[in-house]
Structure 1
Amino acid sequence: LFNRYIDDVFMTWNKSENELKKIIENANTWHPNIKLEYKISKSLPFLDVLLTNINGTLSASVYHKPAAEPYVVPFISDHPRHVFENIVQTSRRRAVKYSSTFQLFNDERRYIKSTFLYNGYPSSFIDKTFRKFFSDYISSRSFLPFLHNEAQFIQMRIALSGQPSRQQSEVEMRIATLTTDNEHLIEESDKKSKKSPFKRIRNQTNFKINL
């Protein structure tokens, strides 16, 4: 397994740790100004995901830096109401997508709620936003704003993972726009090419008549 984002790399290695260190140390001799820093462990963060090797199976959860304070936009700040809802839903969406098990998701759910309570968000507002987020996956009779079982969690995780990101949507929109513009240019070109032979024939006819 190998993943890279700009200058951050995550990989798994099935051979000995010493062999991997030799490869990295050799790579550090290639250029005097480029040095690779590395950490080898059974549990490592990659960007904002914490990956853990549990008996050969990778487990994923949301990564929080140890020195990071539980701070988000305070509820008393002068923002429209939908901004606070989006902040809560973004945290919840990340928890669903990054948590590999239902238990890890519930741990992150509790962390999210305590963080927002710490920043002045009313408990009723948090629960309402949670319930709105889970409306397609929990029973309409349920008053509790969370998923009930592993099956519901997996269903929601698959659904969210299949949704394109905002950047992907913007790229697709640009491609669609360019395609439409190109089709329009092709149509205009075809129209001109169809008109031009008639003009040439007409000019040739006039020339012959004048003779």
Structure 2
Amino acid sequence: MAMGSPLSPVLADIYMEDFEGRALDQYVLKPKLWRRYVDDTFVIWPHGKETIAGFLEHLNNIEESIKFTMEIEENEQLPFLDVLVHKQEGIPRTTIYRKPTNTGQYLHFESNHNTKLGVARCLYDRATQVCSSLNDKNEEFDKITEILEKNGYPKRILEIARTPRDNTEPRPETQTESTETITTVIPYVKGLSEKLRRIGNRYGVRTAFQTKNTVRANLTKVKPDNENQRTKNCIYEIPCECGRSYIGETKRPLDTRVKEHQKLARLGETEKSRLVQHAWDEEHRIKWDEASIISKEERSKRRKLKEAAFMAITPNPISMPSLEIKEVWAPIIRSDLRKLNPVQVGSTSTPPN
């Protein structure tokens, strides 16, 4: 399944439910307890340590692509996700589990985010839900407080975060059962956005914050948008790794013309494109991403003249002009074109008309 697809975890869970059903039905010895969360299982095996290896081998032989690893309790303790299960006088107890690599680093209080109170509340709430004894809960609360103080959290925030919340508190007076909650989304600005949210709360307006400067936004744009690629009526250049380049003209968007060249290259139709013929004959790599516009011209006749002119001043071009221009005119053409287009052929910027 595709990573990140909302459908993937649902189908994966359906598959694993079918898998574990077959696995347990087909083995003679059964676990006393089998609990699974996504792909992690917590199992109580009542048949002795000498038989558990056979059960693991059975699981790993059901599907070639599904392989389990196993961790057995040590010192009457076994971690499962972020919960540490341990025996106390034969009774299972639970508390928070932290990996040995845990650094205790959380969102620093000086960070320009609006979720800092939520971070603290989440840690305290987790301790309340996971710790099975009051002593373990109090010890975990002290540990959380120490960790968050090292991350810059003031005591007043920690006191608010660790205070139990009453989910039955009445709504603000401005809201009634028939009143619909209004939600507004505003950019997050440290110090200002919090004040606006407090004002909105007085009038029953729910305020949500957003920012466009996210990690996703900065990392998922592999290549910047190039508006010039959609320009019509232009003379363009496509370079090859050998240093030569193809000069052409088109009345359609440049990206459409480039895709046509690429399709011909994939099909190996060398007779329809000198650029493709060059790539196949010489086994060269065409730099498709570096295709650029070197001039714009609305009129077809003038566009073909400009195409021929650029070919005349380009050393050893791959393409052939549709109109012939004598080499004797090359110095004059070069001078005139530089006045009109103050960039050299091969530049990736777009010159003025």
- Tell me which amino acid in the other structure corresponds to 2:88: I
- Paired position in structure 2 for 1:73: 107
Deviates most, 21-30 or 67-76: 21-30
Q: Say whether 1:52 aligns with 2:86.
A: yes
More helix by share: 1
Q: Within 5 Å, which residues of 2 pair with 1:58-97?
A: 58-80=92-114, 83-97=115-129
> Paired residue for 1:105?
137
Aligned mate of 1:15, from 30, 35, 47: 47
Structure 1 residue 4: deviation in Å?
Answer: 0.2
Alpha-carbon distance in structure 1 between the residues aligned to 2:102 and 2:63: 34
TM-score (structure 1 length as normaliser): 0.57
Q: CA deviation at 1:121?
A: 0.8
Q: Find the residue that maps to 1:110 and give its secondary structure.
A: helix
Residue 127 of structure 1: CA displacement? 2.1
Tell me the alpha carbon deviations over residues 72-110 of structure 1, each in whole angstroms, 9 at most, x when there is no partner: 111111123xx2222111111100000010111011101
1:1-43 alpha-carbon deviations (Å, 9 max, x no partner): 2210121110112221112222212333344443321011131
Distance 1:135 1:32, change over 3 A: closer
- In the TM superposition, what is the alpha-carbon distance from 1:134 to its structure 2 partner? 8.2
Corresponding residue number in structure 1 for 2:69:
37
Structure ranking higher in strand proportion: 2
Q: Identify the residue that residue 177 of structure 2 maps to in structure 1.
A: none
Give the partner amino acid of 1:2.
W
Structural mapping, 1:56-205, within 5 Å: 56-80=90-114, 83-131=115-163, 133=165
User: Once superposed, what is the RMSD of the aligned Cα atoms?
Assistant: 2.3
Q: Name the aligned partner's letter for residue 79 of structure 1.
A: H
Say which SS state the counterpart of residue 95 (structure 2) adopts.
strand
Q: Look up the equivalent residue of 1:49 and give its one-letter code.
A: V
Contact 1:85 1:129 (8 Å CA) reproduced: yes
Q: CA separation in 1, counterparts of 2:104 and 2:45?
A: 34
Structure 1 residue runs without a partner (length 5+): 137-211
How far apart in 1 are the matches of 2:164 and 2:106?
A: 20
Sort the Cα spacing of 1:78 and 1:54 in 2 relative to 1 into closer, same or farther, 3 A. Answer: same
Deviation at 1:130, TM superposition (A): 2.4
CA shift at 1:66, angstroms?
Answer: 1.1
Distance 1:17 1:132 in 2: 43
**Runs of 4+ in structure 1 displaced over 6 angstroms?**
none
Match of 2:163, SS state, is helix
Q: Could you tell me how far apart the structure 2 residues matched to 1:37 and 1:50 are?
A: 18
Paired with 2:161 and 2:78, the residues of 1 have a C-alpha distance of: 31
* Alignment partner, residue 57 of structure 2: 25
For the pair shown, the structure with the greater C-alpha radius of gyration is: 2
Q: Which has the higher contact order (CA 8 A, sep 6+)?
A: 1
Letter in 1 for 2:148: F
